[in-house]
Chains A and B, each alone.
Chain A
């Protein structure tokens, strides 16, 4: 199976050389050939997508402007609101919920000519790192169906890796775009906090959540980012700054760029050892991942960048801070699922009991665990010791990263500690599962952008992703650096296409 670039697809559709309908049917065929096995989609919108594709073709035939994503099939993580279409968050709580409105990103994708093909599976309410916390069953990794696709945007990453759609949207609260992108061998960008409107993204942790693209290549991720980024008056945390073009500068290279290996996340890297900073490193990043990371650093150096080592000691506190802040916000964000207005309701003698019964029946174990954790962290008498202290770590981390970016332009580190693990391997131990996020969490706490780009495979032949981080609004720089790594990356076998029915 060869994956076509979304941008070239759009150009072909816009020029009339190919119809959006034909492009769609090819992708729908791939979905029907293999999604029963993978479980990437909660819902495939074949009929709606056909209507939409035909409309795109009609617009092209009528000579109307077609948009940068004309006829490009896009998969949406199922925590993005779609008007009149089930938006479940992979939770029993919202199993039958149809929002009366579209998320801002959905409107922007449509305006760019995209065709929404379906809603993808996730860890319930985006809480998880393997997509095993879905109430509707797990998604499997297209490269090896015994492995997880990562999470929580596992359905979106698997859909792109399997060729079900050239593009997908995910949401990233602690790595939920980047980690599954790494495990599935695709590109995942978490934009700067506030760069993409959160309006219509079902909230997990509002100060950390950000929507971003998952794509088969850097160019497509950049095109999609440009389509969805920009100020939205419906989101108070949306940034008002103009969106700097990304795609036009993608091929400028990295000559003279200052790259820093982040010591705390690359302790076993030869460069970090040479710099005498390996003791700062967190244990747990696998040797084959470190090996790919060193190769990526070499590739950037070969392309003209200088590579050094920088330290941000608070990174080792990131996981702890994150697992206080995110659950605290979640405990409040998820309070509204009380059985009163929408979603799961279990009738009971009085309102309070109805709340309890509905929530007991509607939420899965991980969601309950985080609600309890967050409720505790915010409680009177514990706030300062837990939530308050976590906020101070966040402030400290911002300061350290600001200092680091005085010396380097971008930071390089792994995206995930290992390649894709087996289903069930970590479900019994939540803390072990949480460790998957150790490399991705810092950018959520700082609000800075970060991208995961595939760079070869591990000892098991499964994809390895490396992560680039930069200061606020540095997406153009990050994506241009990612493009250099993409070009230098060792060839990787695409995921099998499945058997056509």
Chain B
């Protein structure tokens, strides 16, 4: 992820062990157990009713669409999806209207799946269960911190919003892999339409269970749970920080306490929350207000039939398309193109005969735009052909790509409009000589300079040529000409 602050690495004699619990809000129109709107950003306490406020006498009725989405996710993660039981998780908290959360405990909707990361590694999924979200507490006064606040206001709009919690096995071995796992999961959620998975809006929230062990061992040591990581950047930093903290403790002959910790983004460290030893006993039991879910085999088969192609499938299809065209795509490039949804476009362009390496490079580097819907496979193939045949330069190809995304016109037409017709070698030589003549002093410094100086001044001359030719010149050809002229000048 760009912008990541590099943390010092964990010493090589320690291995990182991470399991992630990811909460995602399901993309339903209404809440999990009532008809209130499931919508982010409305005025506080406007999407509420007796059921999601937990008023005496109210009863939950499960949202069939939410169950459907949860099961769809389960199947997309390769889980066994079947009968499930809602259970009550009992604990007191002001933003939880019933002072128990309806969740699933010993019989969740989905168990035993896995998620394949772009590097090919599979991370096991232990379970994915349905539960309701809580309300939101806003602390007023004292800088918004819970202990110094004057009072608190509660917004119950989020109470009862359907969530799925996806619990991985502790099989993640690096901070980068943790981020990759979350990115990949997000891809699956978007592909299946299960959630919009927006970390910044809180519709996707990550808790990380972190421990370390001596490299090569397979023990599981005391773990800490870092709660509510709200960006990939925080996730990576928090995991790395926590791992180093554990390693330092063990190395000192001490050991971490099993506890919940919070990530302090500003100071780049985790701070203790409540200790697991004195944690609540949730007194789970089957919720008597709800009947068990019992999807039949036909329902699960129908879910499977309706599953879209998943990111991992699309990556391997893209890799196959590239291989068939004679070049390998890097896993990173394939992952990026699939994430942007541009893999089918690339595959179609390759099928139309485009050079795979140039196509992938052009797409990865020059089509990172919001709207690329006007770019067609034929257009892309034509653009790549112009570049590989030398009719346009790489610089011109980049400009053509941007213009194609904007107008949707064929690249030949745009090239003509912009005067991108191939510049002949003779024309270019004339221009280069003109530039040398107009900057005689600089040319002398170029001729007499050391390698660093020559490199710097070559950039200057190339820039001048580019300006004079409005970018039509091929940078490599300019360099070649400069070399020739300097060899001549020196002789």
Which of A's residues lie within 8 Å of B, judged by CB?
79-81, 87, 89, 94, 97, 99-101, 103, 198-203, 205-207, 233-237, 328-329, 331-332, 335-336, 338, 340-342, 351-352, 355, 375, 378-380, 383, 387
Contacts and interface: CB of A to CB of B under 8 A. Distances in A.
B287 to A, nearest CB: 8
A332 B90 contact: yes
A379 B281 contact: yes
Nearest to B285: A378
Contact of B56 (A89, A340, A351, A352): A89
Contacts of B92: 335, 338, 352, 355
25 contacts: A81-B57, A97-B56, A99-B50, A99-B55, A99-B56, A100-B50, A103-B57, A201-B57, A233-B61, A234-B59, A236-B61, A332-B88, A332-B285, A335-B90, A336-B54, A338-B92, A338-B94, A338-B99, A341-B53, A341-B54, A351-B94, A352-B92, A378-B285, A379-B281, A383-B285
A200 B50 CA distance: 10
A207 B288 contact: yes
B98 A236 contact: no
B56 A203 contact: yes
Contact of B154 (A80, A89, A100, A340): A340
B299 interface: no
B475 to A, nearest CB: 66
B60 interface: yes
Contacts of A335: 90, 92, 98-100
B476 interface: no
Interface in B53-102: 53-62, 88, 90, 92, 94, 97-100
A352 B99 CA distance: 12
Q: Which 8 A-B pairs have the closest CB atoms?
A: A335-B99, A207-B288, A378-B283, A206-B288, A202-B56, A81-B57, A200-B57, A380-B281
A103 B58 CA distance: 9
A199 B88 contact: no
Contacts of A375: 283
Interface in B278-307: 281, 283-285, 288-291
B152 interface: yes
A351 B57 contact: no
Interface in B383-432: none
Interface SS majority for chain B: loop
Q: How big is chain B's contact interface, by range?
A: 20 to 34
Contacts of A340: 94, 154
A376 to B, nearest CB: 10
A494 B58 CA distance: 38
Contacts of A387: 285
A207 B286 CA distance: 10
A342 B154 CA distance: 13
Contacts, number: 97
B106 to A, nearest CB: 11
Contacts of B53: 341
Contacts of A383: 283, 285
B90 A378 contact: yes
B288 A202 contact: no
B58 A199 contact: yes
Contact of A202 (B57, B88, B90, B291): B57
Given A236-B62, A236-B290, A328-B285, A336 B57 contact: no
A87 B99 CA distance: 21
B116 to A, nearest CB: 36
Nearest to B90: A332
A336 B151 CA distance: 20
Which residue of A80, A199, A236 has the most chain B CB atoms within 10 A of its CB atom? A236
A235 B50 contact: no
A236 B56 contact: no
Contact of B152 (A97, A201, A351, A352): A351
Contact of B61 (A198, A234, A378): A234
B59 A198 contact: yes
A426 B11 CA distance: 71
Which residue of B53, B56, B283 has the most chain A CB atoms within 10 A of its CB atom? B56
Contacts of B99: 335-336, 338
Interface in B247-305: 281, 283-285, 288-291
Contacts of B100: 332, 335
A55 B291 CA distance: 40
B281 A94 contact: no
Contacts of B290: 236-237
Contacts of A355: 92
Which residue of A101, A199, A336, A380 has the most chain B CB atoms within 10 A of its CB atom? A336
B59 A236 contact: yes
Given A81-B57, A99-B57, A100-B55, A336 B281 contact: no
Contacts of A233: 61
A102 to B, nearest CB: 10
B160 to A, nearest CB: 13
